[in-house]
A and B are shown apart, each in its own frame.
Chain A
Amino acid sequence: MNAVLQTHGLVRTFGGFVATDHVDMAVQAGARHALIGPNGAGKTTLINLLTGYLAPTEGRITLMGEDVTRMAQHARCRKGLVRTFQINQLFADMTVLESVAMSVSERLGLGTSWVKPLAARGEAVDEAAVILQRLGLLSDAYETTRNLAYGRQRLIEIALALAQRPKVLLLDEPAAGVPTSESRELFEVIAQLPRDVTILLIEHDMDLVFRFAERISVLVSGALLLEDTPEVIANHPRVREVYLGEAHG
């Protein structure tokens, strides 16, 4: 088995509070892996640890065999570990095309070049346009981000990540804030991504999770409760208990 993203005994505490509790997780190459759990289970914290936004209190993280525990966020991104945010983190006053072109140019390593305009760099612009087209955003290419509907903005969030040509893509509740009619389409885009992109996603919408995921990990109170195929998870009594228990309490 080929684990591209692994955690070893990952712990994160805030004062006395244990947000991440000795998590050992392995995401296989080409996986469609979902991370579920009740509110406050620590799913976003885990993503923050994986991407380097937060430093772990204990434990290690390996990306494609390389230990990245001490590696800065931007360096992990360069290695192919890319994330999207639960709440859109966009560039409000840039146009859609400008934003995505910028993301592409960073990946191409053009970010330090200062002489030639970005707009004149054909390969970056063309690639940005292709991404926009794939997500159906090309018609909004010249719209300023802040003027677009939230659902459209969510697509930009994904576009920015795709522009990084991720090897491992971490999606934090991609359907959050998107009306159900549009979230199906969103997931189709995600599902159409090639198999050389490994996907780990957090999602609350169980319908989407069970349609998309091939493997599911359940996180409860910062610890990994279990990890298995969707069929097993769906019928597992303890999982039911965790979710039903939440509904009661």
Chain B
Amino acid sequence: MTSVVSSAAAPDPDTAIHDSLRRYRRSADWKPLEYLFWCLPVAAYFLFPGNYLLLSQIAVTSLFALSLDLIFGYAGIISLGHAAFFGIGAYTVGLLGLRGMGDPLTGLVLAALFAAILWFLSSFLLLRGSDLARLMVTLGVALMLYELANKFSRITGGVDGIPGIEIKPVLGLFEFDLYGRTGYIYAVVVLFVLFWIARRIGHSPFGQSLRGIQMNAQRMPALGVPVNRRLVAVYTLGAAYAGVAGAILAQTNQFVSLSVLGFENSADLLLILILGGTGRLYGGLIGAIVFIVAKHFLSDLNPQYWQFWLGLALVLLVMYARGGILGTASKWLEKRRQRAQSRPVGGAA
């Protein structure tokens, strides 16, 4: 085999290799655009006072979407029932709050724990069977939970939910106020921390193996990877994240209702993630922003119109813009790059 093509005629071949790797070694660094993105929540705090509840909802939904992106965008598992974990987190906080255990941070931890336990109990269901069976099982588990919560309405409050949960101040210092200001900051901080962790995981060897599993699950065992074990791990993480998201919702709204477990919640989430673009972590966040803002303005007009446009958006997205916002943008950038590369006459050898 002919020796390597080295563009820089460096005397030491190892240095040439080392240099060409620099781009890859830096690939996990934070990009300027990311810093810019995280200025948005901060800016929103100052620009939209009085809308804190809505902004908190965006933060919560972002986290929820992030949790789905972990299991779907990274591991390729489709779930029609992700709201189950969200709901468990929310009800955990609700029920704890009723018993006077309203400390927010412990609430988060316990919510994550219970969500993860639910996952563990159902995990061996999800890893067998075809894609369709898996889809059904995720849907089935979520529906079961919904029915359970509905029937045991003495505990869960049924359709009316659990109102007026008392949430203690964060770290004993920051009280949840009526305007939702503390709630918003709290939600954003938690979102950021968990996002940061997810991002690190994504770039880690574990995260890369998940990408591998998603792209070609068959190849992975031939590279020594115990696929199921990795999937269980990431799904547990995704479930825990979803539980935390549900918990934050309950804490910032100080209210839990049955809708957190509903099918509509799971379906909306899928749309959000597809809208933003999967596998890039930011997709869920962007999708959440667009979706909630749109819903806020449009669904006031007429709930039926909203549902119709939602359906239409889904259909069009799937048919024409499968990568979502980020995917389409990235494809467009890629095309521009390729066009720029092919312009100079006489390509590199």
Contact = CB atoms under 8 A, between A and B. Distances in A.
A and B touch in the complex (CB under 8 A): yes
B226 to A, nearest CB: 5
A198 interface: no
Interface string A75-96: 1011000110100011111110
Interface stretch (A22-30, A32-40, A99-107, A241-249): A99-107
B223 A106 contact: yes
A176 B233 CA distance: 37
Contacts of B200: 114-117
A74 interface: yes
A117 B221 contact: no
Nearest to A110: B205
B25 A125 contact: yes
Q: Which 5 A-B pairs have the closest CB atoms?
A: A117-B28, A73-B221, A117-B203, A77-B224, A110-B205
A69 interface: no
Contacts of B230: 111
A77 B1 contact: no
Contact of B204 (A94, A116, A126, A138): A116
A16 to B, nearest CB: 25
A164 interface: yes
Contact of A118 (B204, B225, B233): B204
A181 interface: no
Contacts of A160: 219, 223
Contacts of A112: 205-206, 233
B212 A94 contact: yes
B304 interface: no
Interface string A187-218: 01100100000000000000000000000000
A141 B22 CA distance: 12
A165 B47 CA distance: 57
Contact of A141 (B2, B24, B205, B233): B24
Contacts of B220: 74
A185 interface: yes
B122 interface: no
Contacts of A185: 1-2
B21 interface: yes
A238 interface: no
B299 interface: no
A78 B224 contact: yes
B208 A72 contact: no
A77 B212 contact: no
A97 B27 CA distance: 12
Contacts of B233: 112
A101 B209 CA distance: 10
B307 interface: no
Interface of B: 1-6, 17-18, 20-21, 23-28, 200-201, 203-209, 211-212, 215-216, 218-227, 230, 233
A208 B166 CA distance: 76
A138 B224 contact: no
A129 interface: yes
Nearest to B203: A117
Interface of A: 51-53, 72-75, 77-78, 82-83, 85, 89-95, 97-99, 101-103, 105-107, 110-121, 124-126, 129-130, 133-136, 138-139, 141-142, 160-161, 163-164, 185, 188-189, 192
B17 A102 contact: no
A92 B226 contact: no
Contact of A113 (B1, B205, B218, B225): B205
Contact of A74 (B25, B201, B221): B221
7 contacts: A52-B221, A73-B221, A74-B220, A89-B216, A91-B215, A94-B212, A105-B209
Given A95-B24, A105-B208, 12 more contacts: A73-B221, A78-B224, A90-B219, A92-B215, A93-B215, A102-B208, A114-B201, A116-B204, A118-B208, A133-B4, A138-B20, A163-B223
A14 B200 CA distance: 45
A111 B24 CA distance: 18
A99 B1 CA distance: 21
A119 B199 CA distance: 13
Nearest to B211: A94
Given A125-B21, A125-B25, A133-B4, A89 B225 contact: no
Contacts of A125: 21, 24-25
A99 B208 CA distance: 9
Given A94-B212, A117-B28, A129 B21 contact: yes
A98 B204 CA distance: 12
A89 B218 contact: yes
A89 B219 contact: yes
Contacts of A94: 211-212, 215
Given A92-B215, A120-B25, A105 B224 contact: no
A106 B205 contact: yes
Nearest to A78: B224
Contacts of A110: 205
